[in-house]
A and B are shown apart, each in its own frame.
Chain A
Amino acid sequence: MSPLRSPTPFWRRASIRVWIAQVFFVLLIALAAGFFYSNLMHALRTRGLSVSFRFLTLEAGFRIGETPIPYDPGDSYGRAFLVGVLNTLRVTGIGIILATLLGVIAGVARFSPNWLIRQIVAGYVELIRNTPLLVQLVFWYYAVIFKMPTIQESITIARSILISHRGIALPWPRPTGAFLPWFSFLLVGTVVAAGVGRFRQQYQGRTGRPGYPWLSAISVWVLFAAGGWLLFGSPVWMDRPVIQGTIYRGGVVLTPEFASLLVGLVVYTAAFIAEVVRGGILSVRKGQVEAARALGLREGQILRLIIFPQALRVIIPPLTSQYLNLAKNSSLAIAVGFPDLFSVGKTIFNQTGQPVPAVILVMATYLAMSLFTSLLMNIYNRHVQFLEK
């Protein structure tokens, strides 16, 4: 029988086979899911568990060490969970800012003309990247902050930063009565400064002579800020922490848990960000720098105007995943006793004994946070990429 004459049997046709395979796959998944589902239902029935989220309105009854919003044990589980979420967001937000600063500095320092600095930064990166974050966190908590002196013998830096095993107290600027008029005055100043900067820029473009647009705008702005200060009096006062008995009064106090988690996350993530920044800078072709030098740009200008804008395109995607990693790694807070969302979720599970809703609640929250962050960073990424036709 010649294959040319006989039609292909229907089960050998590609379009049909694709469908058969899919039906098979879906069936297989459904079977597995059904198996697990029936096991789950059986287990839930025999152990008297439920999958309902109704417990969220019940009284939580447990204390939380750190609460950004008012909370007491009489509040609901839902509010307790919210406290955990806010704690996670707090440590993640501050951590991302600090880790970016430290990471960029360390990444740029890998190209320092000073050999010693290069070696120190390389050592820092290798040391941090080759040990587990969890070990680093417990080290910061138990072996560093825990071993600090007692509160009466706090280490004092510049007469305003106090460090002891009860935490770190920092001075914090707080607004005085003069803040509002001063701030309004400064807003006017900002508009004027922007106008001056623009004018100088146009002057530079028109005449070709240096107009120092940024320099003049900033000096106008500073003049306004200082003038407002003289007119209305000091707009802020420094709230310096003081030791009172066994606690700190005033300032902003970081608890040992928060401080060690923050320091651990920042130091760890910064080492990875430094590598990302280094890779980005290395990706800029040498010819770009040489051309910039030939045009007479200074080293600082080359870094700011030539290298960074081009390196940024390479840096943003891996930087995004480092931010996401920091957010996810903040879940290790439980090891140092910081009440973040995972830690509170676990406490809720321990109290209610309901594994299914607890796991779903925690995982869904993290998932939502991750998706939201990657959405934001994707938008920013599109912004810095080359506009291609």
Chain B
Amino acid sequence: MNISSNVPRPPSISLTPWEWMRKNLLSPWYNGLLTLLTLGFLYGVGKGILTWVLKEARWEVVTDNFRLFLVGQYPSDQLWRVWLGLLGLSLLLGLTGGVWKGTAYSFARATLVALGIFLLVPASWGTRTWLIANGVALAGGILAGRRFRSRRFQQGVLAGWLLYFPLLVFLLRGRPPLLSPVEPGLWGGLLLTFLLALVSIVLSFPIGVLLALGRRSALPAVRLFSVLYIEVIRGVPLVTVLFMADIMLPLFLPEGLRVDRALRAMMGFTLFSAAYVAENVRGGLQAIPAGQIEAAHALGLNSFQTTLFIILPQALRLVIPANVGQFISLFKDTSLVAIMGLLELLGIGKAVLANPAYMGLYREVYLFVALVYGIFSYAMSYASLRLEKALGVGER
């Protein structure tokens, strides 16, 4: 019986601006004083920052090296490959936004707006053409996705995402008969940041799921191995894992097999992130009631089938928000490869500052780098918040 419908809701309070101010800013008297002091402080700081940003800062260090910040030393005659990769991304994002409503759709729409804003930035006509092409792909994707909103089409889009990453790496890397090779050592800037984050995220997820299952396995040997791995990795800092991947990985591989530094970093990130993903997934596994497993066994499913068709689909859905959080922190942690000497976003910043022409412009460069990281991680955490609400994880 539902009694809540009979209970009157508390009256909604509407305040006039003056009442709102009195309640939130001015009463009691010491609060008013605090408000005044804070306002004075904000005025002083804000004025200082604004004067610096608008008048004193030499932003040409950013605008002159914009391409370096975005793609590093990727050869300029091969840049179309990066653009083509982005085009594919826009198309997929548009299709996803069109096929699924909600978060994906608002995300795609926000990206479209962002593309529009980028168009206002002065740039060469080639860049503008590519930007417009991206916008068209995005909008076209949305329209096409809305048109064919079927189960088959959804599966197709998912498959597209899975195929996209190997294709992207192939496109960027190249292979002599088809595309001229571009060594990963030349990848840099935001491009490298994204590649490091994406590859590590995609690879660490399945390893993490396996480790989580291993930690709850009935086999003591498997359990011991998983626990040891997870606890050791979680007990040491990421820099040391990267350091190990950088200097010890070559020793572990067969002679003659040379692994590029960027790839070594990706392996380090993958090994590190897998332990954290495993702990998140374990949380989800623990939340599945035992009755589900018993019911599956009663229906005649074996342990493997139970895990794959009953437990994992429910558990993974529960841990999506936690894992998105882990991926955001992995995205921020990619900046650590600057210590290894790789030229991702922060590394490029350091390299630019080493140029005598831009000596001492630390504030401009590091603020810009922080801003770029900030925009992307804020967008991701916003999306994850929406996703959490859409999935209703917290409300069950």
Contacts and interface: CB of A to CB of B under 8 A. Distances in A.
A44 B251 contact: yes
B378 interface: yes
Nearest to A46: B255
B17 interface: no
9 contacts: A22-B222, A25-B221, A117-B34, A139-B370, A334-B239, A363-B232, A363-B236, A363-B240, A370-B235
Given A25-B221, A136-B370, A139-B370, A342 B239 contact: yes
B39 A116 contact: yes
Interface string B235-246: 111111001100
Which 7 pairs, one residue from A and one from B, show the smallest C-beta to C-beta distance? A115-B24, A142-B362, A328-B237, A370-B235, A331-B237, A132-B332, A143-B362
B346 A143 contact: no
Nearest to B27: A113
Interface string A89-130: 000000000000000000000000111110010000011001
A29 B225 contact: yes
Contacts of A146: 362
Interface in A32-66: 36, 39-40, 42-44, 46, 49
A134 B366 contact: no
Interface in B337-396: 338-339, 346, 350, 353, 362-363, 366-367, 369-370, 373-374, 377-378, 381
Interface of B: 24-25, 31, 34-35, 38-39, 42, 218-222, 225, 232, 234-240, 243-244, 247-248, 250-255, 332-333, 335-336, 338-339, 346, 350, 353, 362-363, 366-367, 369-370, 373-374, 377-378, 381
B369 A135 contact: yes
Nearest to A374: B235
A115 B221 contact: no
Given A132-B333, A349-B247, A42 B255 contact: yes
A362 interface: yes
Contacts of B373: 130-132, 135
A115 B377 CA distance: 26
Contact of A18 (B39, B218, B362): B218
A143 B363 contact: yes
Contact of B25 (A18, A25, A114): A114
A133 B366 CA distance: 12
Given A40-B252, A142-B366, A366 B374 contact: no
Nearest to A146: B362
A181 interface: no
**Main DSSP-derived SS at the B contact region:** helix
Contacts of A130: 332, 373-374, 377-378, 381
A146 to B, nearest CB: 7
B240 A331 contact: yes
Interface string A322-356: 00000011011011000000100010010000011
A215 interface: no
A131 B332 contact: yes
A29 B35 CA distance: 63
B239 A138 contact: no
A117 B38 CA distance: 8
A131 B221 contact: no
A334 B339 contact: yes
Interface of A: 18, 21-22, 25-26, 29, 36, 39-40, 42-44, 46, 49, 113-117, 120, 126-127, 130-136, 138-139, 142-143, 146-147, 328-329, 331-332, 334-335, 342, 346, 349, 355-356, 358-359, 362-363, 366-367, 370-371
Contacts of B39: 116
Nearest to B239: A331
A260 to B, nearest CB: 12
B303 to A, nearest CB: 9
Given A142-B353, A331-B239, 9 more contacts: A29-B225, A36-B252, A39-B252, A114-B25, A132-B373, A138-B346, A146-B362, A349-B247, A366-B240
A113 B28 CA distance: 10
B38 A359 contact: no
Given A44-B251, A130-B373, A359 B244 contact: yes
Nearest to A139: B366
A366 B237 contact: yes
B335 A114 contact: no
Contact of A22 (B220, B237, B248, B353): B220
A58 B236 CA distance: 27
Nearest to A140: B366
Contacts of B244: 359, 363
A374 B350 CA distance: 36
B222 A135 contact: no
Contacts of B243: 342, 346, 359, 362
